[in-house]
């Protein structure tokens, strides 16, 4: 059984606090010292929610190690792409991160709990 959130949005939509990966896929990797992170969903309704939920500020909350972040929208793919500048220092050869190529960054984001409207599940 999934936990049910007590928080309700202004429109009184029931929400569940569950991992983002319940409805979203992700892929990530390194681009020199920057990390590239793509997140996508399957339906138009999920994409509209994702666009509102995964702002630059929200990504920084969910991934506190992120510094400067740029966001790019890809509506035809129902996807968002983020570039996390400088996350990997000077690149894979000099990075001291546990995940120096940022290959697990997408799964790390997918594991983060967010409030998702039940209608999108």
Q: What is the pLDDT of residue 87?
A: 81
* In the predicted structure, residue 97 carries a pLDDT above the cut 90: no
Q: What is the pLDDT of residue 33?
A: 84
How many C-beta atoms surround the C-beta of residue 78 within 10 A? 20
For 20-78, the pLDDT digits (tens) are: 999 999 999 888 888 999 999 999 999 999 999 999 999 999 999 898 999 999 999 99
Task: Identify the residue with better confidence: 27 or 2.
Answer: 27
Q: What is the pLDDT of residue 59?
A: 97
Q: What is the pLDDT of residue 103?
A: 73
Q: What is the pLDDT of residue 4?
A: 47
Q: What is the pLDDT of residue 42?
A: 98
Q: What is the pLDDT of residue 5?
A: 45
Of 23, 3, 55, the residue nearest 119 (C-alpha) = 23
Give the start-to-end residue ranges of the domains of the chain: 23-111
């Amino acid at each position: 059984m999934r936990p049910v959130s007590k928080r309700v949005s202004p429109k009184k939509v029931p929400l569940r606090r569950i991992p983002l990966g319940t409805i979203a896929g992700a892929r990530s990797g390194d681009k020199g010292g920057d990390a590239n992170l793509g997140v996508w969903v399957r339906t138009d309704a999920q994409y509209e929610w994702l666009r509102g939920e995964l702002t630059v500020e929200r990504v920084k909350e969910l991934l506190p190690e992120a510094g400067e972040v740029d966001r790019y929208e890809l509506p035809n793919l129902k996807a968002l792409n983020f570039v996390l500048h400088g996350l990997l220092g000077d690149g894979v050869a000099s990075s001291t991160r546990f995940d120096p190529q940022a290959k697990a960054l997408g799964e790390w984001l997918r594991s983060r709990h967010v409030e998702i409207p039940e209608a999108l599940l």
